[in-house]
Structure 1
Amino acid sequence: MSAMEKAKGFKKSKAGTYLSIGTTAFGAFGVAKQLKTARKENDTLRLVDAAVSAVAVVTSLALLVRELKRLGDDDVLLG
């Protein structure tokens, strides 16, 4: 397997999935800041936007965890 094929397969590997989980979790900090600002300013529209963003982060994390469980021992980079 060439280096390019391995790089393309990284996204579907355990390491790539862990990286995606970390990136998504890091995005949660931005959502938390958005929620804090919306509450402080008493801005209902921003609060709704932040809540929807929070749901998106939770959903993304759930999908990534499910993908991690599916990978199991079938790691692309190991094979």
Structure 2
Amino acid sequence: MSSNTSALSKAKGFRKSKSGTYLSIGTTAFGALSVVKQAKKARSEHDTLKLIDAVVSAAAIVTGLAILYRELKRLGDDDVLLG
């Protein structure tokens, strides 16, 4: 049971590390490709509702990337304080 707890602690620590933040940025950016495809398809089908959905999804991705960027900068600032 303790090995599961330590693995969970390591996973949570990775998520808050620079590497984990870069990985999150990459996966979020990869999700943007799907939204671009969705928007292109919606435009070609003249489907306004799907296009609005794509725009809202894109806004969520941009917001998520901005939050991750801020976290990355904060982690960088912490590194300076440690060194």
Query: TM-score, normalising length from structure 1?
Result: 0.86
**1:18-29 aligned within 5 A:** 18-29=22-33
Give per-residue Cα distances to partners, 1:35-71, cap 9 Å, x unaligned: 0000000000000000000000100000000000001
Q: Secondary structure of 1:62's match?
A: helix
Note the residue ranges of structure 1 that are not aligned, 5 or more in a row: none
Q: How many equivalent pairs are there?
A: 74
Offset at 1:7?
A: 2.6
Report which of the two structures shows the higher radius of gyration computed on alpha carbons: 2
Alignment RMSD: 1.7
- Tell me which protein shows more helix as a share of its residues: 2
**1:23-42 aligned within 5 A:** 23-42=27-46
Distance (Å, rounded) in 1 between the aligned partners of 2:12 and 2:48? 42
Which residue of the other structure, out of 13, 16, 26, is the alignment partner of 2:17?
Answer: 13
